Amino acid sequence: MDFDYVIVGGGSAGCVLAGRLSENASVKVCLLEAGGSDDSAIIRAPIGAVVMLPRAVNNWVYETVPQPGLNGRRGYQPRGKVLGGSSSINAMVYIRGHRWDYDHWASLGNAGWAYQDVLPYFKKSENNEVVADDFHGQGGPLNVAALRTDNPFQQIYVEAARELQVPINADFNGQEQDGLGIYQVTQKDGERWSAARAYLHPASSRPNLTVITGAHTTRVLLEGKRAVGVEYRQGGATKIARAGREVILSSGAFGSPQILMLSGIGDGAELKALGIPVNHDLPGVGKNLQDHIDVILAQRSNSTDLFGLSFAGIGRMIREFKRYKTESRGMFSSNFAETGGFLKSDPNEPIPDLQLHFVVAMVSDHARKPRLGHGFSTHVCVLRPKSVGSVALASPDPLAPPKIDPKFLDHPDDLERLLRGFKFLRRLHATPAFAPYRLEELFTAEAQTDDQLRDAIRGRADTVYHPVGTCKMGNDRLAVVDAKLAVHGLSGLRVVDASIMPTLIGGNTNAPTIMIGEKAADLIRAAA
Ligand SMILES: Cc1cc2nc3c(=O)[nH]c(=O)nc-3n(C[C@H](O)[C@H](O)[C@H](O)COP(=O)(O)OP(=O)(O)OC[C@H]3O[C@@H](n4cnc5c(N)ncnc54)[C@H](O)[C@@H]3O)c2cc1C
């Protein structure tokens, strides 16, 4: 089990690295993934997300510690546990964030990460079927497509936005992010286009790439200050994969800091308290957790163009299943969050600070509490929350879930932005465009005054699935990796995934993580 590169985690970033590094036939690459194969209809068919989101199907189904800001509730944290990682279970919305986010990363001292530096990597990764201009790429592995659902609620939503005088945006990844509109999705011919589909499957027959599934990595092996391999568990056995050049952790915002800490790399005092020998004191590991806090306005409806449980809905689903099998179109190709966009919660904001996801279903507790009937739901989240949390080890047992504490709504500013956002959602759902389809508001109808709304938000808000920042890039005391994504103070070890983001970007995090993988592949090749 000797390789040049050992990549830990076959998610959005790990698949990019496995695909790109193995392009060089003279290097041996190993990809270790704790989950299984992604050869599954519920991954390929976009509708399958509704099976995976609420339960432990290709999903780590993590929970947070009780959150005082959420009235003491535990948040839910689904994460992909399968080849493709979270890109195999996510909602497929293709968004890059705002150019400001990357210029901000560079201004924090991260040379090479300004918008003009990362744009070529977004384009390199992309095969955009919808837009061909200076902002987009064609011919890359990640297919970006228009939705094939033909759902009338897309136009109803756009009409509602027009009625509120909100600009309609045809491309949130182009010149301007502001406005509402229809999302582009990481799909091809109506199927999910995960990072595995884009980067790993085309590389799978290469003799220099070894992909090992069911391999739960437990620690990085160090010789002095150099990483030389990893230890992993597979089917009850403990095994070793050695890396002649580099170990690359791509286990995501929870997995990567967890593996570092299990390896004795982290806050020395915290590790000692758990009885873990300290190999490298690096206090920032697991700190700086940032996530998009989100609240939903859900509305019951009379329309079977919306997903729901009813006799008419079942009949519709049978017809839609046949349609999907013959045309790869219709409701089975839905990513659920079909429309949305970016808004300023206050006109004085320089750039949008809120994002909307309009879901063609009634959403309650991450689809964990299905309800009878049909409906629609609009999410609103705070794009750059000021609350900052952490992920830590709950125990020295490498198979135990980590202790996730996002500190949601810890900072009062986040609550005030959500409040302004929620009031906008009420106005959106109250437009004439929605009137023929709108029945009663669910869950939050009683809340009318600002204080009642604040309490309702604390009672219902949770993640919209974008945790980042727990192995942040930078030069300050809490930085874990440098601008080349090498772990400070060690050699032969990098972190490449959403955890390296120094600050949460203003948008969904899959395309940015794939961009990070593309850029890292060039950095790693340049160092060889
Ligand atoms: C339900 C959901 C919906 C989302 N919707 C969208 C969306 O619509 N658009 C968007 O842009 N983003 C979305 N995201 C976010 C996006 O998918 C993630 O930010 C992105 O996939 C993160 O990539 P990553 O490489 O950092 O981690 P991941 O893709 O999560 O990959 C980490 C991989 O490491 C593996 N791993 C972890 N620990 C170990 C270990 N100890 N040993 C071996 N392997 C390990 C995991 O099993 C996983 O495969 C969503 C996420 C979720 C969960």
- The predicted-structure confidence for 344-373, as pLDDT tens digits, reads as follows 999 999 999 999 999 999 999 999 999 999
- The predicted-structure confidence for 5-14, as pLDDT tens digits, reads as follows 999 999 999 9
Cα distance between residue 381 and residue 360, in whole Å: 17
pTM of the model: 0.99
Neighbours of 424 (CB within 10 A): 19
> Which amino acid residue places its CA nearest to atom 50 of ligand 1?
90
Integer CA distances (angstroms), 528 to 5, 15, 21, 492, in order: 11, 20, 11, 11
> Which amino acid residue places its CA nearest to atom 9 of ligand 1?
93
pLDDT of residue 35: 98
- Ligand 1 center from residue 43 Cα (angstroms): 14
pLDDT of residue 189: 98
CB burial class (10 A; 0-12, 13-18, 19+) of residue 74?
middle
Cα distance between residue 464 and residue 373, in whole Å: 24
The pLDDT confidence band at residue 491, using thresholds 50, 70 and 90, is very high
Task: Read off φ and ψ for residue 384, nearest 5 degrees.
Answer: -130, 70
- Ligand 1 center from residue 502 Cα (angstroms): 17
CB-ligand 1 contact for 251 (6 Å cutoff) = yes
Task: Tell me which residues are annotated as active site.
Answer: 466
The pLDDT confidence band at residue 501, using thresholds 50, 70 and 90, is very high
> Which amino acid residue places its CA nearest to atom 46 of ligand 1?
81
Average pLDDT over residues 373-385: 98
Average pLDDT over residues 210-216: 98
End-to-end CA distance of the chain: 20
- Ligand 1 center from residue 56 Cα (angstroms): 14
**What is the dihedral angle through the alpha carbons of 264, 268, 273, 276, rounded to the nearest 10 degrees?**
10
CB-ligand 1 contact for 469 (6 Å cutoff) = no
pLDDT of residue 292: 98
- Ligand 1 center from residue 11 Cα (angstroms): 6
Would you say residue 1 has pLDDT above 80? no
CB 244 within 8 A of CB 29: no
Q: What is the CA radius of gyration of the chain?
A: 22
Rounded to the nearest integer, the mean pLDDT of the chain is 98
- The predicted-structure confidence for 73-122, as pLDDT tens digits, reads as follows 999 999 999 999 999 999 999 999 999 999 999 999 999 999 999 999 99
CB-ligand 1 contact for 90 (6 Å cutoff) = yes
Q: Which residue, chain included where needed, has tokens 């689809």?
A: 367
Average pLDDT over residues 314-325: 97
Element (H, E) at 239: strand 237-249
Average pLDDT over residues 60-81: 98
CB-ligand 1 contact for 508 (6 Å cutoff) = yes
Cα distance between residue 25 and residue 353, in whole Å: 45
Average pLDDT over residues 211-219: 98
SS (H, E, C) 425-476: HHHHHCCHHHHHHEEEEECCCCCCCHHHHHHHHHHHCEECCCCECCCCECCC
The pLDDT confidence band at residue 486, using thresholds 50, 70 and 90, is very high
Would you say residue 287 has pLDDT above 80? yes
CB-ligand 1 contact for 217 (6 Å cutoff) = yes
Task: Read off φ and ψ for residue 4, nearest 5 degrees.
Answer: -80, -45
- The predicted-structure confidence for 14-36, as pLDDT tens digits, reads as follows 999 999 999 999 999 999 999 99
CB-ligand 1 contact for 67 (6 Å cutoff) = no
- The predicted-structure confidence for 118-172, as pLDDT tens digits, reads as follows 999 999 999 999 999 999 999 999 999 999 999 999 999 999 999 999 999 999 9
Average pLDDT over residues 284-294: 98
